[in-house]
Structure 1
Amino acid sequence: MSSVAASEVKRSKVEQIKEQSHFLRDPLLEELAEDTTHFSEAAVQVLKFHGTYQQDDRDTRQQRRQEGRERDYSMMLRTRIPGGHVPPQLYLTLDRLADQYGNGTLRATTRQTFQLHGILKKNLKATLASILHQMGSTLAACGDVNRNVMAPVAPYKNRPAYRYAQEYARKLADLLAPKTSAYYEIWVDGEPIPIPPVDEDVLVAQEFVGHGVRLEGPEPLYGPVYLPRKFKTAITVAGENTVDVYSQDLGLIVLTDRKGSLKGFNIVVGGGMGRTHGKEETEPLLAQKLCFAPPESVHQICQAILAVQRDHGNRSDRKQARLKYLVRKWGIRKFRRVVEEYVGEKLQRFRPLPKFVPNSDDYLGWHEQGDGRWFLGISIENGRIQDSPTRQLKTALRRITEAFSLPLRVTPTQDVLLIDIEDRQRDLINQILKSHGVLSKEEIPQLVRLAMACPALPTCGLAITESERALPGLIRQLDRLLQELELQDSPFLVRMTGCPNGCARPYLAELGLVGSTPEHYQVWLGASPEGDRLAQVFQERVHIDQIVPLMRSLLQLYKRERYPQEAFGDYCHRVGIPYLQAQIPQTV
């Protein structure tokens, strides 16, 4: 059970770069000191583990090439904030850095983190150092490691399951984080900085060796080559699925007794959204039921699951390297058996769960916390926090945070919550938001509030076509269509991505739009509003201008044939894709 067992087969180029990086140092450390605008490909791969992607402006790429100039390079920096919880001083720091070094915007992501865009290479170290000095981190926000751990954001003080979800999100984030000292050596020159204390349960869990779970060396959980591919973890509570737990490599569901005491966790494994057009061996997959873990065993089991992926995941083909493909190849029974070998004991059976309930607004608007305080959910279209001539959202959030020192939480749907609000502060907060043109929940159509898009063009190097820049106009056309058809009381979940990698989780949307060629999208239909059923391909290639006419035909059919209270995704699933294809001509 060695982490380098994969050396017996031909390894991908990225595997070799990781092994030669000296635990995430080389060649990044040397190139950072060079007076250049960008990093080499090897340094870029290492840089990801530090929470940064190198990008260039694809809107200007061709023109700059024609003029004999190099690409317009910049860095996208992503934070690691378990459960989406952001202390006020860290948020104010990110807000300032966006203006000082970035493109003036912050972006809330679908994994409950913030991204800074447009940072030049020469300003990268100063940006990261500022975040670290506010007890923030970007370590493992990207790369072949466990990434930001997601959790439900509602700060209910009278519902213990939500508190356990946030608490264990932080514990798992610390437990599964890389241990290399390179991060602090590079970005703050190894100087002492304030670091949150490590939970006692995590310290105990780090002593667990099991049967090959932990290795010798600076990275006892990851080894010198880390994981074969990225690893995504989320934790939720029974009945709620805002985190899309079945889309994760590792998903945990909190179970409590009637008094609210923690019973343990149901664990699912092997979910993932990414796929590649034209390669049928790649596909989105839902996580499968693995086991129930009591609180005293959950950390050992999670480490063992990661170690199984470390040792047995595909290191020769990165398109087959996610945990989901190992689970698919082995089957869940064999995977469970191997995890038991690593843990050293038999796993308990998965326990019955209540059905997930759709959350129609993801906690937008005003809500009581259960302790006399309030939280406020603010809708952020596609997660982009910025100022415009009509709406100064970025300024409003900064002024509220400065005035009231409120923590924020980033939701899994790219919105934010302001939490721990005193009753006397509500009117002042409402006034600030209104004076800056920030719309309330009631002023935004539900179809718009529910929709999500990835950044795509102009910065993402994988994007085939538009997403964030295209969805606002399209979603409002769809909303007008609902009004016209008198279906305004039946909104559905729309998600758009500029490529098939699925960062906005389109395969779990009732209408998923996946970039296939410039200005064209693959159309997916029929996912469950509860997030426990995948959509299926309806049409392979639809021009963006034909999406609304196509949806008109589909929604007219839905209106005539739906059952009472039947959601659009449930209708599409019930009648089936072949039936819908027979009723509606292919659109090109």
Structure 2
Amino acid sequence: MSNEKSPFIVEGKLADNERLKRESNNLRGTIEQDLKDDLTGGFTADNFQLIRFHGMYQQDDRDIRAERGKQKLEPLHNVMLRARLPGGVMTPEQWLVIDKFAEEHTMYGSIRLTTRQTFQFHGVLKPHIKLMHQTLNKTGIDSIATAGDVNRNVLCTSNPIQSQLHAEAYEWAKKISEHLLPKTRAYAEIWLDGEKVETTEKPVEPILGDNYLPRKFKTTVVIPPQNDVDLHANDLNFVAIAEDGKLVGFNVLVGGGLAMTHGDKSTYPRKATDFGFIPLENTLDVAAAVVTTQRDWGNRVNRKNAKTKYTLERVGADNFKAEVEKRAGVSFAESRPYEFTTRGDSFGWVEGIDGNYHLTLFIENGRILDFPGRPLKTGCAEIAKIHKGDFRLTANQNLIIAGVPADQKAAIEKIARDHKLIEDDTSNQKLDSMACVSLPTCPLAMAEAERYLPEAVGRMEGLLASHGVADDSIIFRITGCPNGCGRAMLAEIGLVGKGPGKYNLHLGGNREGTRIPKMYQENISEDEIFSELDTLIGRWAKERESGEAFGDFVIRAGVIAPVVDSARDFYE
């Protein structure tokens, strides 16, 4: 952290995570020693938290936790790994390596595509953890800084049509990711048997600082008119501005975030603030300046108020912006005009401007596994064996088979259809619905999300059909807790888990992802939710204006008030 004392630094007893990071020897801790301890399947003391900086969360199967307790056994500890994959782009060869590891060395055998535009392995037992990292490394993938108090996987709009613009934006996503990565060699030393290098150089972490960031930090590169990365869910966003199809710079938006804490009104979702336009050559300096300002000014006393969004609210967006300009040595110009018209993925085939074709496959919940009658995992592997382009993971948990020449389309489509990766009867509502992982693996889960989504979507489809709008859809998302992984706080209808079978019902987001929904009913059952939605969807079907989306209707009709300023009116 900067030695210069700022009036914007929060004074008080530091959160224990600050001690943990300070004493971690730049994220090494005693992880290596823990790996050799076969008396437990988990990681102990500080290492439980430190492995997050290496891209892993310790979990256990909560479905069998109680039964193992009765047998005097510890929980079935395992880790979830989240890969670092800027922009979500990988090769078919990498996919096959991932597919094989999931099959042979995870408890569930699946690949999970995430809302962070990457993949996760779930259920990796301790003896296989090091092999996992080394297997990924050999194919050019790592999991550095995909969790913990650092800048995490950098998202980039998956635009397969504007090929040249996407290529430029994607390169910037990779550059930003590399620029903001931790510089410690802890990852290489522990997981890749890297040589231990003793150094007296300071600081080890010139951008992140040796105590790293006060809280997690998320960054995106967005290509209008598609907001598929939900920019307002992120701390730092670079909105691509193009002239004649060529990238010339970015509008920079800072301070978005969706997480909150039940019962704590000092926490709330917040949209990002527009700072203005910068030319391309200032991109990395501005990224570093935003991160270092949050590093130095962020709240290290109360982790619930440590995210960038709260720093902007506390110090003032203008003060934060001025500090970024000072540190980067730039002045933001007035933002260039842009518009979002969609944020979902375009399913099926589209032709890019380069003449190649791109097939977007809907993956319910992002879960790639061979289900009964739907061998999705095998199908993806079969495509990877013949595909010569790349795979793109979307921030909506779907998969794009990108860069397909015309003469290969038929073969790839046949594989996809044979393995139920394409199903013509998939409803628009299903395509516009999403959930986080939640139970049984997430330790924070309060209610079901991924496992409940198919049933919930079925009920939504039934309501739409009963009111004569079966071909329409509503942006519908479920999260098992208030931490925001399923991005329910940017949905037209968002369910936030409160307890087993109970959710807070939020209404009033919009289809473009630029408005936060407000709580309509608190802690209600699934049946109560759908009873309310039956009435509201019925009204929407009868009373809406031409082309009016559900989220816009409930606000215009006075069902719910719009969230204009989250810090002031989210809970009113």
SS at match of 1:183: helix
Letter in 1 for 2:408: Q
Label 1:273 to 1:331 Cα distance change in 2 as closer, same or farther (>3 A): same
- 1:43 Cα deviation from its structure 2 partner: 0.3
Q: Which amino acid aligns with 2:55?
A: G
- DSSP 3-state at the match of 2:371: coil
Give the equivalent residue in structure 2 for 1:317.
Answer: 302
**TM value normalised by structure 2:** 0.93
Determine helix, strand or coil for the equivalent of 1:539: strand
1:167 is displaced (CA, Å) by 1.5
**Residue 296, structure 1, aligned to residue 299, structure 2:** no
**Structure 2 contact 157–229 (Cα < 8 Å) conserved:** yes
**CA distance in structure 1 between the aligned counterparts of 2:56 and 2:559, rounded to whole angstroms:** 40
State the Cα deviation string for residues 43-77 of structure 1 (Å, max 9, x = none): 02110010000001111112222222111111101
**Match for residue 444 of structure 1 among 426, 433, 449:** 426
- Cα RMSD for the two superposed structures: 1.8
Q: Cα deviations across residues 187-212 of structure 1 (Å, max 9, x unaligned)?
A: 110179xxxxxxxxxxxxxxxxxxxx
User: Is structure 2 residue 134 aligned with structure 1 residue 129?
Assistant: yes
Q: Does 1:510 align with 2:492?
A: yes
State the partner residue of 1:86. Answer: 90
| Per-residue deviation, 1:3 | 7.1
Look up the match of 2:570.
none
Summarize the Cα distance change of 1:77–1:488 in structure 2 as closer, same or farther, 3 Å threshold. same
| Corresponding position: 1:57 with 2:61 | yes
Match of 2:117 in 1: 112
What's the secondary structure of 1:296's corresponding residue?
helix
> Contact 1:159/1:260 (CA < 8 Å) preserved in 2?
no
> Would the aligned equivalents of 2:555 and 2:561 in 1 still touch at CA under 8 Å?
no
Match of 2:342 among 358, 365, 368: 358
The aligned amino acid for 2:90 is V
Return closer, same or farther for 1:322/1:4 CA change in 2, 3 Å cut-off: farther
Query: Partner amino acid for 1:536?
Result: K
1:397 lines up with 2:380 in the alignment: yes
Look up the SS of the partner of 2:78 in the other structure: strand
Helix, strand or coil for the counterpart of 1:34? coil
Letter aligned with residue 531 of structure 1: G
8 Å CA contact 1:155, 1:163 repeated in 2: no
Structure 2 stretches lacking a partner, 5+ long: 563-572
Distance in structure 1 (CA, Å) of the matches to 2:3 and 2:59: 31
2:481 is the counterpart of 1:496: no
1: distance between equivalents of 2:312 and 2:459?
41
Aligned runs of 1:400-415 on 2, under 5 Å? Answer: 400-415=383-398
Q: Which residue number corresponds to residue 204 of structure 1?
A: none
Cross-structure match for 2:220: 234
Kept in 1, the 8 Å contact 2:134–2:192? The answer is: yes
Query: What is the CA–CA distance in structure 1 between the aligned matches of 2:3 and 2:174, rounded to whole Å?
Result: 26
Question: Is the counterpart of residue 170 in structure 1 residue 174 in structure 2?
Answer: yes
Instruction: State the 1:305 CA deviation.
Output: 0.4
SS at match of 2:155: coil
Question: Which letter does structure 1 place at the counterpart of 2:112?
Answer: R
> 2:59 is matched by which residue type in structure 1?
Q
Matched, 1:42 2:42: no
For the 8 Å contact 2:518–2:561, the answer to whether it is kept is no
User: For residues 232 and 3 of structure 2, what CA distance do their matches in structure 1 show?
Assistant: 27
1:282 corresponds to which residue? Answer: 267
Q: Is the 8 A contact 1:77 1:116 kept in 2?
A: yes
Asked if residue 68 in structure 1 is aligned to residue 52 in structure 2, the reply is no
The answer to whether 1:453 aligns with 2:461 is no
Q: 1:249/1:523 Cα in 2 relative to 1: closer, same or farther (>3 Å)?
A: same
Q: Tell me if structure 2 keeps the 8 A contact 1:235–1:252.
A: yes
Q: 2:556 maps to what in 1?
A: 574
1:197 aligns with none
CA distance in 2, matches of 1:427, 1:260: 30
Q: Could you tell me which amino acid in structure 2 is paired with residue 104 of structure 1?
A: G
Q: Percent identity?
A: 38
Query: 1:245 Cα deviation (Å)?
Result: 1.0
Match of 1:19 in 2: 22
Is 396-405 or 444-453 further displaced after alignment?
396-405
For 1:333 and 1:404, how far apart are their aligned partners in 2? 49
Write the distance in 2 (CA, Å) between the matches of 1:190 and 1:4: 36
Which ranges of structure 1 fall in alignment gaps of 5 or more residues?
Answer: 193-214, 581-588
The Cα offsets for residues 412-438 of structure 1, whole Å up to 9 and x where unpaired, read as: 110000111121211111221222233
State how far apart, in whole Å, the 2-side matches of 1:435 and 1:563 are: 41
The equivalent position to 1:189 in structure 2, one of 166, 189, 193, is 193
CA distance in 1, matches of 2:99, 2:302: 39
CA distance in 2, matches of 1:472, 1:180: 43
Following TM superposition, by how much is the alpha carbon of 1:346 offset from its aligned partner in structure 2, in angstroms?
A: 3.0
What is residue 245 of structure 1 aligned with on the other side?
A: 231
**More deviation, 218-227/45-54:** 218-227
Deviation at 1:8, TM superposition (A): 5.8
CA contact (8 A) 2:213 2:295 kept: yes
Distance in 1, Cα, partners of 2:159 & 2:329: 36
Is this contact kept in 1: 2:493–2:508, CA < 8 A?
yes
Cα distance, 1:408–1:532 mapped onto 2, change above 3 Å: same
SS at match of 2:294: helix
Report the residue type matching 1:140 in the other structure.
A
Matches of 1:188 and 1:343, distance apart in 2: 35
SS where residue 443 of structure 1 aligns? coil
Cross-structure match for 1:550: 532
Over 3 Å counting, the alpha-carbon distance change for 1:537 and 1:417 in structure 2 is same
Instruction: State the AA in 2 paired with 1:432.
Output: I
- 1:206: which partner in 2? none
- CA–CA distance in 2 between the matches of 1:236 and 1:404? 27
The CA deviation string for residues 377-403 of structure 1, in whole angstroms up to 9 with x for no partner, is: 000001000001110000000011012
Q: Given the alignment, which residue of 418, 422, 429 partners 2:412?
A: 429
> Distance between the aligned counterparts of 1:324 and 1:263, measured in 2?
27
8 Å contact from structure 2 (residues 226, 342) kept in 1:
yes
**1:206-225 equivalences in 2 (<5 Å):** 216-225=202-211
Which whole-Å deviations, capped at 9, do the CAs of 1:169-202 have from their partners, x for residues lacking one? Answer: 111111111111111111110179xxxxxxxxxx
Contact 2:251 2:335 in 1 (8 A): yes
Task: Find the aligned partners of 1:3 and 1:491 in 2 and give their Cα distance.
Answer: 53
Alignment check: 8 A CA contact 1:4 1:311 kept: no
Aligned residues: 553
Q: Is the 8 A contact 1:3 1:310 kept in 2?
A: no
Shift of 1:546: 2.6
What's the CA shift string for 1:6-59, capped at 9, x where partnerless?
A: 696311111111111111111212212222311014102110010000001111
> In structure 2, the residue corresponding to 1:395 is in which secondary structure?
helix
Is 1:420 paired with 2:403?
Answer: yes
Contact 2:241 2:336 in 1 (8 A): no
* Match in the other structure for 2:2: 2
1:3 & 1:293 partners in 2: Cα distance?
28
Report if the CA contact (8 A) 2:59-2:442 is conserved: yes
How far residue 450 of structure 1 moved from its aligned partner, in angstroms, is 1.3
